[in-house]
Amino acid sequence: MSNRFCNIDYVILLSIKGEAFSHIVLTYDIGCQYSKKFDQQMSKFSPELQLSKATIIEFGVPSWHINAHGPDCQADFGLGFQDGVGCTCGEEVESTWARTNPLGPSIR
């Protein structure tokens, strides 16, 4: 498993292990690149971490980051163009960093 996204793959698969989802939308700053080999990389993990073949997996790029991507990528991965995501921003994790960054020196 020598792929540069193996840590992200593991976190995603472990976080939904044992759940039966019919449809998942994953957002990632570089979801357009990450999505290309997701199925191939997932197959390298143990079967209990792999998603069901019946699960529909879509990828999106969060609303702020999509602005730095080209028009084709924006059309394919922009959350505003995907069914079922509503008005999702996808930047929730990063919005907390401003408040948690000052903790950095004390928790190293």
In angstroms, what CA-CA distances link 32 with 76, 77, 93? 8, 7, 19
Q: 């759940």: which residue's tokens?
A: 19
Residue 55 forms part of a structural domain = yes
Band (pLDDT 50/70/90 cuts) for residue 88 is: confident
pLDDT digits (tens, 9 = 90+) for 30-52: 999 999 999 999 999 999 999 98
Number of domains in the chain: 1
pLDDT, residue 3, reads 72
**What is the domain range of residue 55?**
6-107
The DSSP letter of residue 51 is P
The average pLDDT across 47-70 equals: 90
Residue 61 forms part of a structural domain = yes
The average pLDDT across 61-84 equals: 88
The mean predicted confidence, pLDDT, of the chain is: 85
Residue 1 forms part of a structural domain = no
